[in-house]
Structure 1
Amino acid sequence: MNTLLDNYFKLTENKTTVRKELTAGLIIFFTMSYILIVNPKILSETGMDQGALFTTTALATIFATLMMGLLAKLPIAQAPGMGLNSFFAYSVVLGMGYSWQFALTAVFIEGIIFIILTFFNIRELIVKSIPKVLKDAIPVGIGLFITLIGLKGAGIIVADPNTLLRMGDFSQHSVWIALLGLVITAVLFARNINGAILIGIIISTVFGFMLGDVTLPQTSLIGIPPSIEPIFGKAIEPMLSMEGWKQIFSMDMLIVVFTFLFVNLFDTVGTLIGVVSKIGLADEEGNFPQIKKALLADALGTTAGAILGTSTITSYVESASGVASGGRTGLTAVGTAFMFALALFLAPLFLLVPAAATAPALIIVGLFMISSVVKINFEDMTEGLPAFLTIVFMPFTYSIAEGIVFGMLSFALLKFFSGKKQEVTPTVYIVSFLFLVKIILDAMHLIK
């Protein structure tokens, strides 16, 4: 069995083992398992069945992550994207007044478009066109972004109406659970202990149990997941009537599909570049051979997710936690998918791990991700400012996509008006123009 896995995933060539890969997959699961709770809660605001959404979220995550692991052979997990699910629920359905079936149709159309764009190498062309300086900046921005996610999840940093952010309340147990886990994980890394991140999560969870923040479930740990019948296949329903086709060809549908396309593309691109750069698979320009297969896995995941009954699928930045713990191949993603499959039947057990216990993993990974900042030439304003905007916009806007938008846009503008337009490829100019269109459409929507 080990030989078969070694041959398929090239474990020896990537200097890893089955144990390391599966441990990394388990860590990724723990750092992103919150999606099993959050996604159903958000989408159920539209009237969708919450129980069905739990099952669908898990199934879509399993399928999309397996596609990434088996097809692209990358240690990256995929699931319904945060932000995209909020846009689905609060903007498209509750804001514009469309049905959740209509919103699912938009996601389905987006997935089909992505498959076509991937087939004709258009998405791959966009990824390769991103300037090297931004490819060096993207991992740094992601590092700060996931550190913020970890600090927020632990309550170390909290919202403030006056200063936007402030230090959290140190009387809260979650703060101390996270800080203990952070110190333990850092010490284990310093001592070169294998599985440092997983050990840190386990010890933090046990500490949380001692403090009374983690309680054992009163019900059975094993149960049959809810049926997805109430939401399965509803994405195709609007296509079965003339009224539905009128909605599909409306301006609102165009805006909705464009937004889904835009955010999903650059969330996925940012995550792929950021994570793959830490594995060592990327060349000097930041490109890697599995780009097309990775983007196809994303497109297939989104399309299947829409049919199952959930919002847009995207690559998860939390995958970096698995890479930091030794994950190097698609076997890591397969391990994550397997854990989500178990969670379908053992949800009470897997959901014991509190956010505070996974926060140290995200903070430590954030540390590892920022190392590429030394490659950036900040003395050249036409490169330094775009890189800086890419880095700061990711955590400050809570979006990988927005960081890439303002990084690319500023890169094209500064190079053009500084007499260095020959350093910008035609693709970058085209993509930057599309960014401007997106910003204008957003502004028009806000004005309405």
Structure 2
Amino acid sequence: MEKLFGVRANGSTIRREIIAGVTTFLTMAYIVFVNPSILINVIPGATPGSTLYQQFFGAFMVATILGSVVATLIMGFYANYPFALAPGMGLNAYFAFTVCLKMGIDWRVALAAVFVEGLIFILLTVTGARAYVIKAVPNVVKLATGAGIGLFIAFIGLRSAGIVVSDPATAVSLGHLTDPNVVVAIIGFFIIAILSALKIPGAILIGILASTLIGALPIFGVTKYYGIVGKIPDISPTFMKMDFNLQALATASFWMVVFTFFFVDFFDTLGTLTGLAESAGFMKNGDLPRASRAYLADAIGTSVGAVFGTSTVTTYIESSAGIMEGGRTGLTAVVVTLLMLLMLFFSPLAMTVPAAATAPALIFVGILMMKPITKINWDDVTEAIPAFVTLLMMPLTYSIANGIALGIITYPVVKLFSGKAKQVHWLTWILAILFVFYLVFLRE
């Protein structure tokens, strides 16, 4: 262990690393239930209880676990950091609800876009070109993107729970608060919120399981029991199903999707790795040692995840829970992967969890993602306007891509006519012009 991870050299112990791994796992295990419940929406005719639903839900669950395991093992053994990875919240919603359901792109083509995004990430990491990407995007748009995704997935959670419903007169309205699904979702949300406030590890996971049990009560009847433990589901429905359709690859929409996946993945990873490294004391003179290895874990995990059949894999901020418990080496990450692999046997439990139980998790994670807006200088109008546009347009247009594009377009225009054109990097202008061209002429 010492030779592999340098546990003692990093001021830790094997016991502490194991406890840290268990803690991190508990805080992020909810993704095993939530990710398949989101991705299943892309399969036509997969209604709850149907054979098609069970086949694809199980496959998406296995893909979620294996994508997480591969990426986290690379992070543990190659980068030697206590960071865990899994399919990213927000990007899974973008994959399902925007790319597939709104834009009409087949889920297999969308997986190809995720795969390509991962390859681009790998290329930029290996060549060191990621520094230029960082300069091209205004910092305020980066900050607003994370928060905007939070609003987006919280909105999806509210819709999924029936708390927010469609209305022909006002577009959206408040749902019926006496509906069993709504009641269970509200109870689940408060369970998660209270447990989180009390700093109890695994608050989201506990909330999901508690909501599932509450939903099984006769007065609600929203939970259909499929079991707890079972055989590992067949991954063949999603494995190697990427469709590199030449006609699709030739469209601007496909590459806009690739760019959006890359943009969010890249900057989410950048921010998460920096934050985790700061909290663990890994930063040296403002830089993260072995940073390229950590980025590669994320990038390779994304492409491998697409091969298995899941949306973009990214570094999880929940790793901070393990760091707080003393995790300092890749051994923590390895422990997370072992526990993730055990989840392969709990597919019946995953299918038992109703939308009313996963919706509170989406809403709560959305709240957690709002934190970056505190770093935005709201007193500077040239910063506040592009931030607000980015934030607002993601949920209102049901698209992360639209929010990013409009934010990047707004930034240089406002700066230019405010006499602050020198603050705009020339690459930002190129991006803005390309986005204008896409939104006006190429968007389908």
Q: TM-score range by the shorter chain?
A: 0.7 to 0.9
Match of 1:253 among 247, 250, 258: 250
In structure 2, what residue type is equivalent to 1:402?
A: N
SS of the residue aligned with 1:225? coil
Match of 1:214 among 223, 236, 245: 223
Separation (CA, whole Å) in 2 of partners of 1:292 and 1:35? 27
Separation (CA, whole Å) in 1 of partners of 2:203 and 2:114? 38
Contact (CA 8 Å) 1:278, 1:323: kept in 2 or not?
Answer: no
- Where does 1:185-264 land on structure 2 (aligned, <5 Å)? 185-210=192-217, 211-217=220-226, 221-226=229-234, 228=236, 233=240, 248=246, 252-253=249-250, 255=252, 257-264=254-261
Match of 1:176 among 163, 166, 183: 183
Deviations 1:289-308 (A, max 9, x none): 77644543343234334544
Ranges in structure 1 where 5+ consecutive residues have no aligned partner? 239-246
Contact (CA 8 Å) 1:114, 1:299: kept in 2 or not?
Answer: yes
Residue 444 of structure 1 pairs with residue 442 of structure 2: yes
Separation (CA, whole Å) in 2 of partners of 1:151 and 1:332? 34
Superposition deviation, residue 55 in structure 1: 4.7
In structure 2, what residue type is equivalent to 1:201?
A: I
Match of 1:271 among 247, 268, 271: 268
SS of the residue aligned with 1:84? helix
In structure 2, what residue type is equivalent to 1:221?
A: V
Residue 421 of structure 2: aligned partner: 421
Superposition deviation, residue 107 in structure 1: 5.5
Contact (CA 8 Å) 2:18, 2:335: kept in 1 or not?
Answer: no
Separation (CA, whole Å) in 2 of partners of 1:168 and 1:71? 49
Report % sequence identity: 34
Number of residue pairs aligned between Structure 1 and Structure 2: 420
Residue 356 of structure 1 pairs with residue 363 of structure 2: no
Separation (CA, whole Å) in 2 of partners of 1:11 and 1:147? 39
Give the TM-score, by structure 2 length.
0.74
Give the TM-score, by structure 1 length.
0.73
Superposition deviation, residue 166 in structure 1: 1.4
Residue 278 of structure 2: aligned partner: 281
Separation (CA, whole Å) in 2 of partners of 1:354 and 1:9? 46
Residue 243 of structure 1: aligned partner: none
Separation (CA, whole Å) in 2 of partners of 1:29 and 1:112? 27
Contact (CA 8 Å) 2:31, 2:87: kept in 1 or not?
Answer: no
- Alignment RMSD (CA, Å): 4.5
Superposition deviation, residue 131 in structure 1: 2.9
Contact (CA 8 Å) 1:140, 1:370: kept in 2 or not?
Answer: yes
Residue 30 of structure 1: aligned partner: 30
Residues 348, 149 of structure 1: alpha-carbon distance in 2 compared, 3 angstrom cutoff: same
Ranges in structure 2 where 5+ consecutive residues have no aligned partner? 47-51
In structure 2, what residue type is equivalent to 1:315?
A: T
- Where does 1:279-428 land on structure 2 (aligned, <5 Å)? 279=276, 281=278, 292-293=292-293, 295-308=295-308, 310=309, 313-315=312-314, 319=316, 322=318, 338=338, 341-428=341-428
Residues 53, 391 of structure 1: alpha-carbon distance in 2 compared, 3 angstrom cutoff: closer
Residues 112, 136 of structure 1: alpha-carbon distance in 2 compared, 3 angstrom cutoff: closer
Residues 162, 169 of structure 1: alpha-carbon distance in 2 compared, 3 angstrom cutoff: same
Residues 294, 393 of structure 1: alpha-carbon distance in 2 compared, 3 angstrom cutoff: farther
Superposition deviation, residue 68 in structure 1: 5.5
Residues 104, 352 of structure 1: alpha-carbon distance in 2 compared, 3 angstrom cutoff: closer
Residues 189, 438 of structure 1: alpha-carbon distance in 2 compared, 3 angstrom cutoff: same
SS of the residue aligned with 1:392? helix
Deviations 1:320-347 (A, max 9, x none): 5x36866677778766655653443320
Separation (CA, whole Å) in 2 of partners of 1:39 and 1:8? 41
Superposition deviation, residue 262 in structure 1: 0.9
